[in-house]
Amino acid sequence: MPIATLILAAGQGTRMKSDLPKVLHRLAGAPLLQHVMQTGAAIGARRSVLVVGHGAQAVADTARDIDPEITIVEQAEQKGTGHAVEQSRAALAEFEGDVIVLYGDTPLIRPETLSAMQEARSRHDIVVLGFEAANPGRYGRVIVDGTGALEAIVEAKDATPEELQVRLCNSGVICAPAALLFELVAEIGNDNASGEYYLTDIIALARARGLSSGVVICDEAETMGINSRAELAAAEAAFQARARAELLESGVTMTAPETVFLAHDTVIGRDVVIGPNVFFGPEVTVETGAEIRAFCHLEGCHISQGAIIGPFARLRPGAEIGNDAHVGNFVEIKNAILGEGAKANHLSYIGDADVGDAANIGAGTITCNYDGVMKHRTKIGKRAFVGSNTALVAPVSVGDEAVTGSGSVITRDVPDGALALERSQQVTREGLARKHMARLRAIKAKKLKTEN
């Protein structure tokens, strides 16, 4: 059965106390909305419709950056979830398949859960997603009859004392055939405590027609909605716990998993070892057998097999680290390729550069890539040896097996196999250091005497 996702993202999110629309706040390096859209894509949705309201333009622009094919509709007035779904009627008028209604502020629902809802649709006309709540509180209650058939979903503010005792709660996620969904939405009224049109009322309307409704139950953590900064932090913790557990299960070693932070798209191969306090920003891939030592910060980079990174290393976007390469403590690499077996072990900045296989970058090396207006590239050949405290003023190249002397400022290309030295002549004055220091101490003593 073809599937479409209908994502409701019109709410203001006043409890976030932010000028940024709620669904654009970030979780694991990506907007909440992106997580929801990617879940829809993972189940093979043929169509995706987004209902926007508060911050409509910013939300729509972000959605189109993620999926240029998404359809945007606007809910100018927020009159409830049923009213929000009604806004998408025209956008889905020709769609012949099931629609799953999702929420832009509920980012943790798994693709597997939505697939289970699709499967349950073979047995029911409508399927809702429920969860057993530890503290049901304000959640709508899922009411079933003695046979387990779904009768209705009752909002907490409209529930009777008996209904409030029910622990099976509504996530708001619903799967139904498009035609049936919009037929039932047209019948929803707003005779309730909030004066809103509740999408959940379609369950009772369907039952009145003799239609079947079913419930798929998921873990409560999946249904976590984000309405405040505290809930955003809780969702981040839930995401990280789940992502870490998945990595451990897949064959990754983490010596202190609770201190490792992952992005929504982090990819790590088996037999990778990750030390404590490592941060992964978006777009990081680590291949099999690499090691990421403690206190590294990685984003937008690719680390190949057998490479060793850190401790205290920073890899920025465009960093490509070759097989068995080493990036050591306090080394920063940006938009640069480090070839197979190459080493930059200490206190260096390698930006906008190509470093050849088995090259060695000495401590304190800098590629001077920015002239104040434009960036320029440095090329370092295979098996080259760059001496400590070398400044490579780009654009410049150091050839294969070439050497630069420590403390050199290299402004011209160095041919293959050549030695380049750029230093002023050392001058030594016997005894001058003692005289100079004695003079400074005398000045200091005189100053202290005057002050006292």
Element (H, E) at 100: strand 98-103
What letter does residue 265 receive in the DSSP assignment?
T
Task: Report whether 362 contacts 377 (CB < 8 A).
Answer: no
The Cα 46–Cα 100 span in angstroms is: 12
* In contact, 392 and 366? CB cutoff 8 Å: yes
Q: Respond yes or no: is residue 124 known to be catalytic.
A: no
Contact 135, 118 (CB under 8 A): no
Report which of 347, 83, 326, 335 is spatially closest to residue 201, judged by C-alpha positions: 83
Long-range contacts of 364-368 (CB under 8 A, 24+ apart): 364/388, 364/389, 364/390, 365/389, 365/390, 365/391, 365/392, 366/390, 366/391, 366/392, 367/336, 367/392, 367/394, 368/392, 368/393, 368/394
User: Do residues 224 and 20 make contact, with C-beta atoms less than 8 angstroms apart?
Assistant: no
DSSP, collapsed to helix, strand or coil, labels residue 305 as coil
DSSP classification of residue 370? B
Which one of 54, 346, 376, 436 is the catalytic residue? 346
- Residue 135's identity, in one-letter code, is N
> What does the alpha-carbon distance between residue 360 and residue 221 come to, in Å, rounded to a whole number?
48
The CB density around residue 418, as the number of other CB atoms within 10 Å, is: 13
Nearest-10 Cα torsion for 305, 308, 314, 316: -20
| Catalytic annotation, residues | 346
